[in-house]
Amino acid sequence: MSLTVVATRPIDGQKAGTSGLRKKVAVFQQAQYLENFVQSIFNALTDYQGQTLVVGGDGRYYNDTAIQTILAMAAANGFGRVLVGQNGILSTPAASAVIRHHKAFGGIILSASHNMGGVDGDFGIKYNINNGGPAPEKITDAIYACTQVIESYKILSDSPAVDLSQLGSTQLGEMTVEVIDSVAIYADLMASLFDFEQIRALFASGFRMRFDAMHAVTGPYAKTILEQQLNAPEGTVLNATPLPDFGGGHPDPNLTYAHELVDILYGEDAPDFGAASDGDGDRNMILGRGFFVTPSDSLAVLAANAQLVPAYQQGLAGIARSMPTSAAADRVAAKLGIPSFETPTGWKFFGNLLDAGQVTLCGEESFGTGSNHVREKDGLWAVLFWLNVLAARRQSVADILQQHWAEFGRNFYTRHDYEGVDSAAAKQLMDGLKGQFASLTGQSFGNRTVQLCDDFSYTDPVDGSVSQGQGVRILFADGARLVFRLSGTGTEGATLRLYIEAFSTDSAQQQQDAQTALADLIQLADQVAGIQRWTGRAEPSVIT
């Protein structure tokens, strides 16, 4: 084994998006592509000599290969110890928990989240800092700057592949590699937050649920926690073995891609509760019997019921939601008399607020919910939170939502995605909207009047940093909203996301289906943005 310095030069396309660098597997397989990015991460950091790094991923294709490269490079760059999940497996929230538990310097997470896996699918890499959360923009910018000027990388050559299937320590040059149980630290953390005794009693009473791990990383976590620790019957967890190609499916827990679970919950003899998580375990979808809970509503319901959960019994410091997420959680915060925050899309914007103790719960409409227990969104945590609430209230999911709307009003909500559209056309659509801010403001459409239009800008209340151009908002006086933004995580062409929201306190109207209740706004969105004209699409690719 010898330390080798390999000459290289910058490679195009190493700009990371909302959640790290995500590309087709074939892109990562190009010579020196992964190595350049990993070295750029290390070059952007200081004072890590002898420190601990956490490494793991969602088990998708190329996970193992990438981990061996990262280990050989971490050793050559002077890390003292690397903690790797067994078989290379760490869900994103578990990686965050491990970083925090071991007070590690940081972590490298290998995942393309909910994007498809397999040899023709996507791969991704992201760096998390010592609070367990995604690196803030100043670090991701520095990493990108390093990729633009890189001249060499360091690697231990001829080092044997570390056996990731065996728990325990081995030496790689001067560095120790410790293969750790992928689930244990995370499972202990969950047991410290929720009333496991009460949830066991719920299952013992005959309560039935299905959790769909979608052949992705949460399988082992859900099996251990739900079936072994909480005594849910065997078979509660579906598709529990992580596969490199996620069984050919799209590991995204929404009404379109988690249809197997949706069919069960809407079918005959449906169980009481259904949930799913995504490729890397940070997203969640919540279903009742024949009932879908929007992620925006889920955040609001969890906040309103937090006093039922041991970890949050003392009250919440505040609630944060991403800008496109519905305002349902704001209404709960107002009633609880605690602050609410509206941040740009992407979990990294919650980090400062959580670290500063200004918020306890946070969430995004994109099936992401979390709290101050880690610095990532956490799929299984949200499911356990719901189970804790259901165990305490002993009501159906539908009844809990009905009561919530009766108390706080209902924020009707839907998101329409136009995937893989022409990037130039998508940009023109957005520019066209930005050109209409002045003319739209004050204009009335039916009984709605536009109160404000802007391109959302956020000033971080903790460090004062400003993030501009975070999405076009058209806000109406009655609480309705249209939001348009381009995805930062798609890998083919552009993805246009349209978010539509309306508020209702009328109990009869609240029973409508969301697409019906929002039909006029959906039409109006096309009218002002020219979606069909620019994208050539009559229908969105995905409706959630």
The three-class DSSP label of residue 364 is strand
Interaction partner, residue 535 (ligand G1P, Zn ion, none; CB < 5-8 Å by kind): none
Would you count residue 40 as binding ligand G1P (CB under 6 A)?
Answer: no
**Taking the CA of residue 241 as centre, how many other CA atoms within 13 Å lie in the half-sphere pointing to its CB?**
3
Q: State the SS3 of 119-171.
A: CCCEEEEEEECCCCCECCHHHHHHHHHHHHHCCEEEEEECCCCCCCCCCEEEE
Q: Which residue has the tokens 């009869």?
A: 508
Would you count residue 113 as binding Zn ion (CB under 5 A)?
Answer: yes
Interaction partner, residue 37 (Zn ion, ligand G1P, none; CB < 5-8 Å by kind): none
What phi and psi values does residue 365 have, to the nearest 5 degrees?
-65, -20
In the complex, minimum distance from the CB of residue 377 to Zn ion, in angstroms, rounded to a whole number: 8
Residue showing the smallest CB distance to ligand G1P in the complex: 487
113, 182, 322, 340: the active-site residue: 113
* Pairwise CA distance, residues 277 & 212, whole Å: 7
Tokens of residue 121, six digits: 């699918």
In the complex, minimum distance from the CB of residue 487 to ligand G1P, in angstroms, rounded to a whole number: 3
Residue 53 near residue 105, CB atoms below 8 Å: yes
Would you count residue 487 as binding ligand G1P (CB under 6 A)?
Answer: yes
Interaction partner, residue 488 (Zn ion, ligand G1P, none; CB < 5-8 Å by kind): ligand G1P
The site for Zn ion, by CB under 5 A, has a size of: 5
Q: Which is nearer to Zn ion, 318 or 368 (CB)?
A: 368
Interaction partner, residue 410 (Zn ion, ligand G1P, none; CB < 5-8 Å by kind): none
Residue of 85, 346, 479, 540 interacting with ligand G1P (CB under 6 A):
346
Please, which residues bridge with residue 248 across strands?
none
Residue whose C-alpha is closest to residue 128's, from 316, 314, 377, 318: 377
In the annotation, is 182 catalytic?
no
Which window, 7-15, 77-85, 270-278, 462-470, contacts Zn ion (CB under 5 A)? Answer: 270-278
Interaction partner, residue 501 (ligand G1P, Zn ion, none; CB < 5-8 Å by kind): none
For residue 424, CA distances in Å to 13, 20, 428, 522, 535 come to 18, 23, 6, 23, 10
Which window, 141-149, 212-220, 363-371, 437-445, contacts ligand G1P (CB under 6 A)? Answer: 363-371
Q: Which is nearer to ligand G1P, 107 or 288 (CB)?
A: 107
Residue of 62, 127, 203, 347 interacting with ligand G1P (CB under 6 A):
347
Residue of 345, 372, 411, 535 interacting with ligand G1P (CB under 6 A):
345
* Pairwise CA distance, residues 542 & 366, whole Å: 12
Tokens of residue 543, six digits: 């409706």
Q: Which is nearer to ligand G1P, 19 or 182 (CB)?
A: 19
In the complex, minimum distance from the CB of residue 327 to ligand G1P, in angstroms, rounded to a whole number: 16
77 sits in which H/E element: helix 63-77
Tokens of residue 534, six digits: 């620019």
* Pairwise CA distance, residues 290 & 396, whole Å: 11
Interaction partner, residue 489 (Zn ion, ligand G1P, none; CB < 5-8 Å by kind): ligand G1P
Tokens of residue 371, six digits: 């709290």
Residues 9-38 that bind ligand G1P (CB under 6 A): 18-19
Helix/strand/coil percentages in the chain, nearest 5? 35, 25, 40
Q: Which is nearer to ligand G1P, 94 or 199 (CB)?
A: 94
Q: Which is nearer to Zn ion, 330 or 378 (CB)?
A: 378
* Pairwise CA distance, residues 490 & 508, whole Å: 39
Interaction partner, residue 57 (ligand G1P, Zn ion, none; CB < 5-8 Å by kind): none
**Taking the CA of residue 476 as centre, how many other CA atoms within 13 Å lie in the half-sphere pointing to its CB?**
20
The three-class DSSP label of residue 466 is strand
Which window, 118-126, 334-342, 483-491, 513-521, contacts ligand G1P (CB under 6 A)? Answer: 483-491
Tokens of residue 314, six digits: 């003392």
Would you count residue 282 as binding Zn ion (CB under 5 A)?
Answer: yes
Interaction partner, residue 280 (Zn ion, ligand G1P, none; CB < 5-8 Å by kind): Zn ion
For residue 225, CA distances in Å to 85, 199, 222, 234, 514 come to 17, 11, 5, 12, 34
In the complex, minimum distance from the CB of residue 486 to ligand G1P, in angstroms, rounded to a whole number: 8
In the complex, minimum distance from the CB of residue 324 to ligand G1P, in angstroms, rounded to a whole number: 7
Which window, 250-258, 279-287, 313-321, 393-401, contacts Zn ion (CB under 5 A)? Answer: 279-287
Q: Which residue has the tokens 């009460």?
A: 198
Would you count residue 278 as binding Zn ion (CB under 5 A)?
Answer: yes
Residue showing the smallest CB distance to Zn ion in the complex: 113
Residues 97-116 that bind ligand G1P (CB under 6 A): 113
Would you count residue 364 as binding ligand G1P (CB under 6 A)?
Answer: yes
Q: Which is nearer to ligand G1P, 101 or 126 (CB)?
A: 126
Q: Is 13 exposed, middle or buried (0-12, 13-18, 19+ CB in 10 A)?
A: exposed
Interaction partner, residue 18 (ligand G1P, Zn ion, none; CB < 5-8 Å by kind): ligand G1P
* Pairwise CA distance, residues 391 & 199, whole Å: 5
Angle formed by the axes of helices 328-336 and 397-408, nearest 10° = 70
Gap between the terminal Cα atoms of the chain: 52
The site for ligand G1P, by CB under 6 A, has a size of: 15
Tokens of residue 424, six digits: 């130039």
Binding site for Zn ion (CB under 5 A): 113, 278, 280, 282-283
Contacting positions for ligand G1P (CB under 6 A): 18-19, 113, 322, 345-347, 364, 366, 368, 487-490, 497
Residues with active-site annotation? 113
